[in-house]
A and B are shown apart, each in its own frame.
Chain A
């Protein structure tokens, strides 16, 4: 079985981090699993952690009153899930539902925030990588705003 340090080093968004930083991050990490259909977290719950998906797929959903939930995005092997742990009020903005059995590394948000505050170099390196993920998701969302498959776009 792989050590947590090895698993953390395999998370794509963390690639290139110094070994000392990976070790620090691994100290806040643990393996976790979710059955298909279960929720990793629900909107409004305390956002005390985030995940790196190692296996499976997760749907990020928005609850819409009187309607079926809307899937905002799906996340898959290698993807990072959750950044609400970074900033107050530390509450999830979406539901996260396992579409199939999910294996993930769970990172303790408070533990990692504490280490980032005492080691700004780690904090900067981690923030750079998370910002990159946020930017990629923002760009994908902007592409969807174009509604390129809509009738207006086709005429």
Chain B
């Protein structure tokens, strides 16, 4: 990397990335692949996020959902829920987006070495934990059993359906449930904590990584603790209104924590206080 390029590595300045691929996951969710225009490919750890900038629309934090062990384009799965995310989802192949990052803490896979990995995800929250699954599949001997417990609103809003089937074939215990379904759905109907209650897991040797809407994470963490997991073996990824992403602006401050800098991945004992604060 040239000195000029290195000098531009200001964390507040976005780099240009070109959209090289886009896949529709659901009615409002797209997976984009992005290639850097004037920088090296971006290395990241599972759980980290980037600030993705749709020029003229806005910048939002998006977790990286690709394979951390594979060189290649950056992968982001984005749900269109506001102006900026809608613009990112609308970006066509060849379009340019700004990217800053990666930022934040990562899923502590070292804590799961020799243990069973329990991935608990809800909705688009499957995207930030997908790199964990890739890491487990890449190094199966490093971990014990792997379980993916995934819930969504309804069948047509589930992410990565083909990949979930492929993970099953590769030995991962995948269990899926939805909140709402009609009789053509032959899978489970219920909430993610019910999957946790029924999962064949050994709480003594399990480490759980939880990502989804905060209400879902709260109930899931409680269900995991009820199953007997130790609190320090439960990790969650918080979603907050991040702006600077480097712990300066305070937009994502949650009590003593800056979610962008101190998280977004937190151990349950460190962040559970936030789940008890009303209307926060």
> Which A residues are within 8 Å of any B CB, using their own CB?
57, 59, 61, 67-74, 76, 78, 97, 99-100, 140, 143-144, 146-151, 153-155
Contacts and interface: CB of A to CB of B under 8 A. Distances in A.
Contact of A57 (B152, B188, B191): B188
B193 interface: yes
Contacts of A67: 182
A79 to B, nearest CB: 9
Given A74-B190, A78-B198, A143-B219, A149 B183 contact: no
B153 to A, nearest CB: 4
Interface stretch (B1-9, B37-45, B208-216): B208-216
A149 B122 contact: yes
A72 B215 contact: no
Contacts of A144: 179-180, 191
A147 B179 contact: yes
Contacts of A148: 122-123, 212-213, 215-216
Contacts of A68: 182-184
A73 B190 contact: yes
B157 interface: yes
A97 B183 contact: yes
Nearest to A70: B182
B232 to A, nearest CB: 25
Contacts of A71: 181-183, 185, 189
A100 B188 CA distance: 12
Nearest to A76: B198
5 contacts: A72-B189, A140-B191, A148-B216, A153-B213, A154-B81
A72 B187 CA distance: 12
Contact of B213 (A97, A99, A154): A154
Contacts of A73: 189-190
Nearest to A60: B189
A59 B122 CA distance: 22
Contacts of B28: 151
A25 to B, nearest CB: 23
Interface of B: 28, 79, 81-82, 122-124, 151-153, 157, 177, 179-191, 193-194, 198, 212-213, 215-216, 219
Contacts of B152: 149
A76 to B, nearest CB: 6
B204 to A, nearest CB: 20
Contact of B79 (A97, A146, A147, A154): A154
Contacts of B188: 57, 74, 76
Contact of A150 (B153, B183, B212): B153
Given A99-B186, A143-B191, A149 B198 contact: no
A146 B212 CA distance: 14
A148 B216 CA distance: 7
B123 A149 contact: yes
Contacts of A78: 198
A150 to B, nearest CB: 7
A149 B191 contact: no
B219 A149 contact: no
Nearest to A97: B183
Residue among A61, A67, A69, A143 having the largest count of chain B Cβ atoms under 10 Å: A143
A69 B183 contact: yes
A72 B177 CA distance: 12
A140 B190 CA distance: 7
A76 B199 CA distance: 12
Contacts of A147: 153, 179
9 A-B pairs with the lowest CB-CB distances in the bound complex, closest first: A149-B153, A148-B213, A149-B123, A68-B182, A69-B183, A154-B81, A71-B181, A71-B189, A144-B179
Given A74-B189, A74-B190, A147-B153, A61 B212 contact: no
